[in-house]
Amino acid sequence: MRSGAQGMPMLYVKCFLVGIGGAIVAAVLWIGVSFAIPIFVPMLVGRLLNRGGASGASITSDSILLAALIGFVIAAGWALRRFGVAFY
């Protein structure tokens, strides 16, 4: 157990770094999914129905930022619980 507030600043730095990592992972996953689904699903359906066609994808920075923010909050919250800060 930590006595007093000695380990608290380092705890928050760890949680911040874990949150940054979570934000990067969430943003990369969002970019991958938002490009892969609109491009490959119509191509798959076209192949199954024996039709031709084209598909495309577009992504804005707003959706990437939102995914990164959600990833940061989830990862930092997990790290706070994991590293020992109790929520009362």
DSSP secondary structure string for all residues of 77-88 = HHHHHHTTPPP-
Structure tokens at 66: 């939102």
Residue 47: per-residue pLDDT:
81
Confidence of residue 1 (pLDDT cuts 50, 70, 90): very low
Instruction: Answer whether 8's CB lies under 8 Å from 15's CB.
Output: no
Q: What is the pLDDT of residues 32-83, one digit of tens each?
A: 998 888 888 888 888 888 887 677 777 888 999 999 999 999 999 999 888 8
- Angle at which helix 8-48 crosses helix 61-82, to 10 degrees, equals 130
